[in-house]
Amino acid sequence: MKKSTWIYIFTMIAGTMITLSSKNWISMWMGLELNLMSFIPIMLNKSNKSSAEAAMIYFLMQSMGSMLLLMSVMMLMSKYSIENKMNNIIITVSLLMKLGAAPFHLWMPEVMSKINWYKGAILMTWQKMAPLMMMSNIMYNHFILNLAILSSVVLGGLGGINQTSLRKLMGYSSINHLGWMLSINKFMNLWMAYFAIYSALVLMICQTFHKMKMYFLNQLQGINMDSTEKINLFVMMLSMGGLPPFIGFLPKWITMQAMINSKEMMIMFVMIMFSLITLMFYLRIMTNMYLTFNSTIKWSYIKSNKASVITMMMMNLSLPLILIMDMI
């Protein structure tokens, strides 16, 4: 990795930290801009021509979100300020654009399909942290937020059904999970627990796909993996879908309990239904790998670090242990 890349990574982290630690809107906006201008050079790759297109799409969408955010902040500071509720709606829309939540979601899978797995993992995890924290500062129950939650869950679930690109599939999965994070964002800071577990799962899956150089669904048919790694990937995908007893079920369980306490049954019902659809397309990935014949070519076999594979598997299977400890 080049020295300049490390500088960009440092400033990207610094931008997010500025936003998280700020007490006023202008400082938060400055942190978001620093983060944006640092992530764009990280996205660019000379060997991947489509990364320039991805960087341009990302820059345009983030710039539009920043313009809306700055406009609403200036309105708040102005003596000619419009109604406070309207300002909150404009800020919410600008942050939804930055997050890639539906109905402003179309850029997310497109950008994901044009960058490599590690950069995609940053886009799906770290880049969401600052806007989500800002959302929690202005969170109140209005129709824009409920529309974003429902449309993210629905379109994130339906969008991944016909995908053959694994990166696009993970992009739609990210939109679906974002709907869950936005719904739990209303309830104190419980979204942080969801975000932490989701980020860990995404990093593990992206690392596995990158190591095996998997980018499309049909590549899984001839994949050279031993049985331990196949089981590990299977467990990670089921955990990502939120199936018990895997650790991915824990944040969804917390979200469901919070929504039951708030009596938001209808939204919760839709979220659970479309969560089953996402689980279906995760299972489709696994059936391609398990149920089709593949001949392992010994000279192209990738040796894996068994310790790291077993560690990832145990992390995903740790929910029963957490529950037992809680009972004790």
What is the pLDDT at residue 230? 79
Q: How many CB atoms lie within 10 A of CB 244?
A: 15
Question: 150 falls in which pLDDT band (50, 70, 90)?
Answer: very high
Model confidence pLDDT, tens digit, residues 257-277:
888 888 888 888 999 999 888
β partners of residue 216: 165
Number of domains in the chain: 1
CA distance 20 to 136: 11
More confident residue, 178 or 217: 178
Q: Which of 1-10, 260-269, 302-311 has the lowest mean pLDDT?
A: 302-311
Q: Which of 24-28, 236-240, 286-290 has the lowest mean pLDDT?
A: 286-290
What is the pLDDT at residue 306? 61
Q: How many CB atoms lie within 10 A of CB 46?
A: 7
- Would you say 128 and 175 are in contact if contact means Cβ atoms under 8 Å apart? no
Opening angle at CA 211, ends 205 and 217, nearest 5: 65
The tokens for 140 are: 């109140």
At residue 106, the 3 state secondary structure works out as coil
The tokens for 116 are: 């490599």
**pTM of the full structure:** 0.89
- Return the amino acid letter for 106: L
Question: 31 falls in which pLDDT band (50, 70, 90)?
Answer: very high
What is the pLDDT at residue 300? 47
Q: Residue 5: exposed, middle, or buried by beta-carbon count in 10 A (0-12, 13-18, 19+)? A: exposed
The one-character DSSP state at 163 is: -
Helices 306-316 and 227-240, packing angle to 10 deg: 30
More confident residue, 170 or 220: 170
Question: 328 falls in which pLDDT band (50, 70, 90)?
Answer: very low
Q: How many CB atoms lie within 10 A of CB 233?
A: 26
CA distance 201 to 198: 5
**Residue range(s) defining the domain that contains residue 180:** 3-327
Question: 286 falls in which pLDDT band (50, 70, 90)?
Answer: confident
Q: Residue 135 contacts by C-beta under 8 Å, 6 or more apart in sequence? A: 92, 95, 99, 182, 185
What is the pLDDT at residue 138? 76
CA distance 96 to 146: 12
- Would you say 57 and 111 are in contact if contact means Cβ atoms under 8 Å apart? yes
Model confidence pLDDT, tens digit, residues 231-252:
888 888 888 888 888 888 888 9
**pLDDT of 213 strictly over 50:** yes
Model confidence pLDDT, tens digit, residues 41-56:
999 888 888 899 999 9
Averaged pLDDT score across all residues of the chain: 83
For residue 112, CA distances in Å to 76, 77, 168, 290 come to 35, 37, 6, 26
Nearest to 253 by CA among 310, 322, 202: 322
